[in-house]
Amino acid sequence: MKATTAAITAIGLISSASASAQTLPRGFVYLRDVDPSIIQDIRYATANNFVGRPLAGYGAAECVVKREVGLRLKAVQQELASQNLSLKMFDCYRPARASLDMVRWSQNGHETAADRRYNPRIAKTELFRLGYIASRSQHSTGAALDLTLVDLKADNSARIDPAKSYADCTAPVAARLPEGSVDMGTGYDCTDAKGHTAAPSITPDQRAWRKRLVAAMAKQGFVNYSKEWWHFSLPAAGGAAYDFPIQPWRN
């Protein structure tokens, strides 16, 4: 969810709304073309996210990134593979319109039980002020990512049961929404102090997983955002923000 706080007017919006599938701005790639072994679970293209519906611009659940970012993710994945681990991508390039969609959601005056699952202690109207969402996101440059680790030896088959009432994102892993990944102490997009990377309230095992993820990403130059254990960026690959929609991948 992490976004910078610069005004939307500062965005160098490069809109390619007419782009067809497989047509990306120069320098962008589909991650599956770089490394198809990296697991993808692009939440904002689905209803399984804090807004409860697909966000504007997400026409497909595909990870799109700058080419350099993709190559560095591939290097991370190759190191993890020897440990029977894999990256799982939750969000990659994010159209600028999606960030504005988040801001509008936070200001719509409605707060539901589903909202509280992701924001158990923070009112949604406070998310902008506290830096969890903003009108300009690093994701829109193609150089920021939300991700986690998957233990390939574990049973990752659990799926969301629509009939089940899940606890909020800070609850023990067995009580919250299943994510098919290692237990990082909170669910993805958990706007709570427990979601801060160095949160003291998590268990030693959860802390070890976070450190393992941060260390693996840091070897390839990725920087973690301290308020979100899942958010990383590659500063050197940033630049202008884009607003082209994410289209289906075609081989």
Four-point Cα dihedral 223, 225, 228, 234, nearest 10: -40
Residue-level pLDDT at 221 = 97
Q: Which residue, among 2, 19, 52, 90, has the nearest Cα to 242 in the 3D structure?
A: 19
* 20 pLDDT above the threshold of 70: no
Residue-level pLDDT at 19 = 38
Tell me the pLDDT of the chain averaged across its residues.
90
Cα angle 91, 92, 93; round to 5 = 125
Residue 39 zone, left/alpha/beta (φ > 0; ψ -120 to 50; rest): beta
- Distance CA(172)–CA(54), nearest Å, equals 27
Cβ-contact 182, 209 below 8 angstroms: yes
pLDDT tens-digit series, residues 165-175: 999 999 999 99
Residue-level pLDDT at 111 = 87
Tokens read off for 188: 């993805």
Local structure of 70: helix, strand or coil: helix
Q: Which residue, among 184, 191, 185, has the nearest Cα to 49 in the 3D structure?
A: 191
Burial 126-165 (b: 16+ CB within 10 A, else e): ebbeebbbbbbbbbbbbbbbbbbbbbeeeebeeeeeeeee
pLDDT tens-digit series, residues 110-165: 888 888 899 999 999 998 888 888 788 999 999 999 999 999 999 999 999 989 99
Residue-level pLDDT at 162 = 87
* 49 pLDDT above the threshold of 50: yes
Assigned CATH for 8-237: 3.30.1380.10
Mean pLDDT of 187-215: 97
Residue-level pLDDT at 1 = 64
* 250 pLDDT above the threshold of 50: yes
- Distance CA(177)–CA(63), nearest Å, equals 22
Helices (H), 61-162: 67-81, 96-106, 113-118
Residue-level pLDDT at 238 = 84
3-state helix/strand/coil string of 181-219: CCCCCCCCCCCCHHHCCCCCCCCHHHHHHHHHHHHHHHC
pLDDT tens-digit series, residues 58-71: 999 999 999 999 99
Kindly tell me the sign of the dihedral angle through the C-alpha atoms of 38, 195, 130, 219. negative
Cβ-contact 4, 141 below 8 angstroms: no
- Distance CA(67)–CA(142), nearest Å, equals 9
Q: What is the CA radius of gyration of the chain?
A: 17
Domain boundaries, the chain: 8-237
Local structure of 59: helix, strand or coil: coil
